[in-house]
Amino acid sequence: MNKLSKRMQAVAALVRNTTCLADVGCDHGYVPIYLIQSECIGHAIAMDVNRGPLLRAEEHIREVHLEDYIETRLSDGLTALAPSEADGVVIAGMGGALTKRILAEHPEVWKKMNNLVLQPQSEIEEVRRYIYAEGFHIEEEDMVEEEGKYYVMLRCVPGKAAPLTDVAFRYGGYLLQTKNEILKQYLIKQRQQFSEILKKLEIRKLMPEQTVLQKPELLQQSATQQDELQQKEDGSTRRFERQKELEEKLAMIEEAERIMGENI
């Protein structure tokens, strides 16, 4: 049976109640091969915007004699998929902005599906908010760590639900409720990282620094000296804004830890 990475194994595990799966950005075609061999789905359409990955997928499909079960299509996102042709989709390994663009360009396709399995590499909060705004909701999530990186995968289903809180949109309501162990590890690292940066900013704040004052002698200084002082003042403003941002992130982490009932 085809062996998947930990990340893609977690993605495949979220595929539910799907007869025909569309795999957008299929790369080597490993996910549909695995799901067919596991008898989780009956048919798959492996799609990619580039011909190279499709050729690799076709080679792997032939190696396991699944040509009758998995077809390949050159497609930018969901463009080559007709409405109701598949009842589930996997969009994994792409940035959050690209994931949203793929969905936004063809709502007539994915809104007829039973399941969306998404694994955005970035901007996860924005993807969660988009899903809820479009009349779907997240029924299940998972989070894994692989080679020092953290990955979140979402299983989205049709139907409106009560909007999530800000902390749930940030870190995942399902992950918080189920006290996901990988999320706990992630929060610890985030808290340590943000606290260290905040401490450095506070130390710099205590260091004596000349500020721009409206004094008569300042008017006698050269334009270069005034520019230097202005740059220092701008730097102080940026540090203040960064400090405020870090304090808000730490407060969000504290709230997430409280929800999970963990003093970590």
The answer to whether 124 touches 92, Cβ cutoff 8 Å, is: no
Q: Report helix, strand or coil for 148.
A: coil
CATH 3.40.50.150 fits 6-163, yes or no: yes
Nearest to 1 by CA among 89, 59, 68, 63: 63
Q: How do 136-146 and 149-158 pair as beta strands?
A: antiparallel
Helices (H), 64-123: 96-105, 107-110
Rounded Cα gap, residues 18 and 106, in angstroms? 19
pTM reported for the whole predicted model: 0.85
Rounded Cα gap, residues 261 and 179, in angstroms? 8
Q: In what order do the strands lie in the sheet with 88-94?
A: 70-74, 43-48, 20-24, 88-94, 115-120, 149-158, 136-146
- pLDDT score recorded for residue 140: 97
Cα–Cα distance list, 172 to 94, 101, 164, 177, 178 (Å): 18, 21, 9, 9, 10
DSSP 8-state assignment for residue 258: H
Nearest to 195 by CA among 246, 263, 121, 260: 246
- pLDDT score recorded for residue 163: 85
Nearest to 125 by CA among 189, 159, 161, 168: 168
The answer to whether 129 touches 101, Cβ cutoff 8 Å, is: no
- pLDDT score recorded for residue 263: 45
Per the structure block, which two tokens stand in for 169?
Answer: 């949109």
- pLDDT score recorded for residue 212: 45
**pLDDT tens-digit profile, the chain (264 residues):** 567 999 999 999 999 999 999 999 998 999 999 999 999 999 999 999 999 999 999 999 999 999 999 999 999 999 999 999 999 999 999 999 999 999 999 999 999 999 999 999 999 999 999 999 999 999 999 999 999 999 999 999 999 998 899 999 999 999 999 999 999 999 999 999 999 988 887 766 655 554 444 555 555 556 565 555 545 554 567 877 888 899 999 999 999 999 998 544
Rounded Cα gap, residues 182 and 23, in angstroms? 26
Rounded Cα gap, residues 229 and 235, in angstroms? 10
Residue 216 class from Cβ within 10 Å (0-12 exposed, 13-18 middle, 19+ buried)? exposed
